[in-house]
Amino acid sequence: MLQPRIPVNPLPTSAPTPLTNLAPTPATDIEPTAPAPAPVVPARAAVQLTPGSALALAAGGGAVVLVVGTVLVSMLLAVAITGVSVAVCAVVLKSLISQERKH
C-alpha cells in the first residue's frame, strides 16, 4: 500500500540523429520596423492620509520600534549573562587549579 511508484523510462527505439544545419541563416528578409509606442500609464493618485490613519500609522511604527528594541535588548542581555557566567567559570577553575598546586 505504501510502496513508492517509480515511473519507468522507456528505452529509446533508435539512435539519435545529429544536427546537420548548424549555420545561422542570414536575416535579409526582415524589414526594420519602428518600435511600438509605449502605453500611456495614468498618473497615480497621491496617497491621502486622514488624521485617523496617520495616528494608526504612527502607533504601528511606534509598536514596531518597541518590539524591535525589546528583542535587541534581550539579545544583548543574553550575551552579557553568558559572558558573566563564562567569567565566573574561569575564576572557579583558576581557584581549583591553584589549590591543586598548593597541595
Give the model confidence (pLDDT) of 20-59 as tens digits.
766 766 666 667 677 778 888 777 777 788 999 999 999 9
Rounded Cα distance between 31 and 2, Å, is 61
Per-residue pLDDT tens digits for 93-103: 999 999 888 76
The Cα-based distances of 10 to 7, 16, 83 in angstroms read: 9, 15, 64
Rounded Cα distance between 43 and 34, Å, is 26
Which domain range does residue 85 map to? Answer: 74-103
**Which residues have a Cβ under 8 Å from the Cβ of 57 and sit 6 or more positions away?**
49
5 belongs to a structural domain: no
Give me the residue label for grid cell 587549579: 97
| 81 or 30, higher pLDDT | 81
58 belongs to a structural domain: no
26 belongs to a structural domain: no
Flag whether the pTM goes above 0.75.
Answer: no
- How many structural domains does the chain have? 1
18 belongs to a structural domain: no
53 belongs to a structural domain: no
Q: What is the DSSP letter of 1?
A: -
44 belongs to a structural domain: no
31 belongs to a structural domain: no
The pLDDT value given to residue 42 = 78
Res 83 pLDDT > 80:
yes
51 belongs to a structural domain: no
- Report residue 32 CA to chain centroid gap: 44
Give me the residue label for grid cell 509606442: 37
